[in-house]
Every structure is written in C-alpha cells, then in structure tokens.
Amino acid sequence: MNLFGYRVPMMASLLVWCVIWEIVGRLDLMLMLPPFTEVLQAAVGLVQTASWQSATVTTLRAFVMGMALSIVVGVPLGILMGRVKLADELLGMWVSIFSSAPLSALVPVLMILFGFGEKTIVAAVFLFAIWIIVLDTRAGVRHISPSLLEMARSYGASKWALYRIILWAALPEILAGIRLGLIRGVKGVVIGQLLVAIVGYGALFETFSRNFRMADFWALTIILFAFALLIAELIERLEAKVEFYAGARQ
C-alpha cells in the first residue's frame, strides 16, 4: 500500500494491530487481554526463567527430531510414489486421507502407545508433518520432464546418479513440501503438548491459564507464533534460492 507517496510494506500493518491491542488492553475492553507492552515485558521476563528455557529445549528437541524423521521417511516415500506406479496406487489414497484428516484425534492414540512423554510429541510432529512432504515430493518427481531422465540415461548415468538427478530436479517442490511440513509440524508440537499437558510448552500453557497469568500466556503465544513465522520465512528464503532454476525448467 502507498501512504503519502511511500510504499508501506504489508506486514507493517501488524504494528497497527499491536497499537490497537495496547489500547484495548489498557481500556480493559476484553477479558483476559492485557496491554501489549505488558505482554512484551512478560516475554522478556519469561525467557529468563529456567522453566521456559527447559521447556524450549524440550519442545525444540521434539520438534527437530520429529521433523528430521518425517523428512527422512517422507522424501524417499514421495520419490518412491512418484517413480513406482504400484506404490503410488497402494499408498496414494492413505497419504491424501491423512494429509487432510483431523489428526488431532489421533494424538490420544499416540499417548497410549508412546506414553505421556517426549516420544508422543515427536510422533505427533512426525504425523502432522510427513504427509504434505510425501505429497509434494511425489508431485515434484512427477513433474520432472521425461527428457531430462532420458538425457541422463543416454549419457549412461548409473541408478545412483539417476536418483541424484531426480532429487535435484524435484528439489523446489520438496522444499515447498518441507516448508509446509514445518508449519504443520509446529502445529503438531503445540497440539501434542497441549493434549499431553505435562511436557514443554503444553505444561507452561497449562500452568499460566490455570493461574490466570494472562500476560505470560500471551507472551508464550507470541514467542510461539514468532518461532513459526521465522521457520516459514527461513525456508522461504531457501526456496527463493533454488527458484532461479526451478523457473528455468518450464
């Protein structure tokens, strides 16, 4: 948008919303909404507490492990489905079902299978993130132009080299899948922890809301949101880097 001749970036409007938040909080217009500045102060205080630090470590560890697992399993599965018709036919239906199903309903199952601990959170992240990675990888492999593979074969590429070409050629879609997987993974970690309620941020949320520590609650929410956006932004940067040849492929 342009304002007085200057281009104002779109995300700048979030500052406007922060001001509105501050006003609404100060006037006490909404229940459980402390002023924004108070929330910021709480955030500063919160990050210095040992409980936040250990919760963050737990959450991050579960998140990273779950994501790593879903990438390590999801990308090869996607390539398999993109290359082997039978695998695609047998698995495709289930992958697309799970990619849009209310997976939160499965978290209680994870809780009884893996216990009320970190393993359940890792499994939740994995379960939330993997399907979109598989789908996008599969789509990416499907979109590779056949002439590229014929070229590789005609120059006598080995099977190993062929799959390396496939991996690189499908990279833009794979990265897009991973970015969406990360966003879903963050949701998975939060939903998992909220439901388990005694691990990491879930436990903190539980404590804050039980004791009506609203500023802390909002501070934690903001930190979480910022983290989610940061991850999405980072991966988008990476995507922009591979896009220059992604565009050239068409």
189 binds another protein (CB under 8 A): yes
| HEC per residue, the chain | CEECCEECCHHHHHHHHHHHHHHHHHHCCCCCCCCHHHHHHHHHHHHCCHHHHHHHHHHHHHHHHHHHHHHHHHHHHHHHHHHCHHHHHHHHHHHHHHHHCCHHHHHHHHHHHHCCCHHHHHHHHHHHHHHHHHHHHHHHHHHCCHHHHHHHHHCCCCHHHHHHHHHHHCHHHHHHHHHHHHHHHHHHHHHHHHHHCCCHHHHHHHHHHHCCCHHHHHHHHHHHHHHHHHHHHHHHHHHHHHHHHHHHHC
Rounded to 5°, angle at Cα 189 from 140 and 135: 15
- Pick the piece of the chain touching another protein (CB under 8 A) from 34-42, 144-152, 161-169, 184-192: 184-192
- Among 18, 142, 207, 238, interactor with another protein by CB under 8 A: 142
- Among 36, 63, 126, 217, interactor with another protein by CB under 8 A: 217
Closest among 48, 46, 47, 22 to 35, alpha carbons compared: 22
Q: How far is the CB of 29 from another protein (least distance, A)?
A: 13
Report the phi/psi class of residue 247: left, alpha or beta, with left for phi > 0 and alpha for psi in -120 to 50: alpha
238 binds another protein (CB under 8 A): no
- Pick the piece of the chain touching another protein (CB under 8 A) from 65-73, 150-158, 163-171, 228-236: 228-236
- Among 35, 121, 126, 173, interactor with another protein by CB under 8 A: 173
- Among 34, 66, 172, 177, interactor with another protein by CB under 8 A: 177
122 binds another protein (CB under 8 A): no
Closest among 67, 127, 141 to 94, alpha carbons compared: 127
- Pick the piece of the chain touching another protein (CB under 8 A) from 37-45, 52-60, 62-70, 201-209: 201-209
- Among 29, 50, 112, 248, interactor with another protein by CB under 8 A: 112
117 binds another protein (CB under 8 A): no
Phi, psi of 7 (to 5 degrees): -80, 120
In the bound state with another protein, the residue whose beta carbon lies nearer, of 61 and 143, is: 143
- Pick the piece of the chain touching another protein (CB under 8 A) from 14-22, 35-43, 48-56, 161-169: 14-22
Q: How far is the CB of 5 from another protein (least distance, A)?
A: 15
- Among 205, 215, 219, 246, interactor with another protein by CB under 8 A: 205
Q: Which residues bind another protein (CB under 8 A)?
A: 1, 8-11, 13-14, 16-17, 31-32, 85, 88-97, 99-109, 111-113, 132, 135-136, 139, 142, 173, 176-177, 180, 183-184, 186-187, 189-191, 194-195, 205-206, 209, 217, 220-221, 224-225, 228-229, 232-233, 236
